Structure 1
Amino acid sequence: MDESLGALDKKLRDQLQVEIKAIQQELGLTVIYVTHDQEEALVLSDRIAAMRNGLIEELDTPRELFERPRTPFVADFLGAANFLPGRIEQHTDEHTLVRLDRSGGLLKARRHDLASGAQVEVAVQPGRLRACAPDDGFCTGTVETARYVGTLIRASVRIDGGDAPLLRLEVPAGRGPVADERVGITADPDDVNLFPVEQGR
């Protein structure tokens, strides 16, 4: 099936995704489904082959690809990840601590098997970042935009520290930050992925 639902409106597309999956499971068929819609791939698939330049970059379950991508390309392609450069400061029994280059903040990630001192890219999906009090985050910044999109607020935060990038957040509506607000940024360590710089993007 090649881009089968691409021309449909979102409501009908969502309904047909459920029906296609139900028919596939009922008939026990193997279906190869081609799509550029990341959400559609996550909903319909038992396994996803994320492709880059005509080659399979990574092949795994939707949950593993989204939550534990093995390359920066897949992290960015499936979830438009936020990337921050840093250096591994130390390991504990359960966590890896990363000192961020621009803000100097200390970020806690789940345990990664990378050498202390290694230069890394920190990757966190917008829906896994949270705004908090400035003193409680691994970095601080100012909210530039906060757009209401129904159940979510999509915010962009200009973090402190030179030419630091904008971070994208998706938070439940009613709990989101507002434009010009000073905030801290935090994340659950289990939602933080680290990639050695030599992997590139």
Structure 2
Amino acid sequence: MMDIPPVNLSHLRALTDHTGLLQHSKYGVPNPRFGYTTDDNLRALLVATRSYELIGDDTALDLARTYMSFLHWMQRDDGLFHNEMSYDRRFMDDVGSLACQARAVWALSTAAVSTLPQSIRNAAFYLLQRIPLKAIELYTSIHVPSFIIYGLGELRERQSALQQMEIPAHSDWEDVLWEAADALVEMYARYSDENWRWFLPEMT
């Protein structure tokens, strides 16, 4: 059996300041010039959440809290997220991509039903329920419905975690989950044949 090294969050910790995860580094040294993105902080939240569930590490907990705080700042009044922010905390876009919104559903769903402390799980659920799911167009790319399925599927699988928090399921969740699955099925039917079994006409 192959030996797998223990989880090591030192580099992720080094790239994270009091605001969130910086977008770039140079030779392992954080480069603030390019600021932050919601996409990267959502990915980092997933890593921190899973790491905390695996090892219960205080570093993972601190990182998850930082990323959740960043997401609070990046969520607009309408529930959608900005994606790009400069180092001096200026929003650099009007709204993030649809893939960014869908990834938010995934990461926040994962955090909401995780073993993180309830305060962080409550924060994740608060941000999640503000996302206007019906506004996320599912047929724009393979990533959008896939991220939605990852997130809402996890909520569906771990409903007991929401029940322990006395949180009712969102009325749109089940409908959107099935719509996302239908979108993938339709993409596959549209582009695949006996020689090409994939959801898109090309693989990038």
Name the TM tier (shorter chain): under 0.3
Q: TM-score, normalised by structure 1?
A: 0.26
Please identify which structure carries the higher helix content: 2
Q: Which has the larger radius of gyration?
A: 1
Q: TM-score, normalised by structure 2?
A: 0.26
Higher RCO, 1 vs 2 (CA within 8 Å, ≥6 residues apart): 1
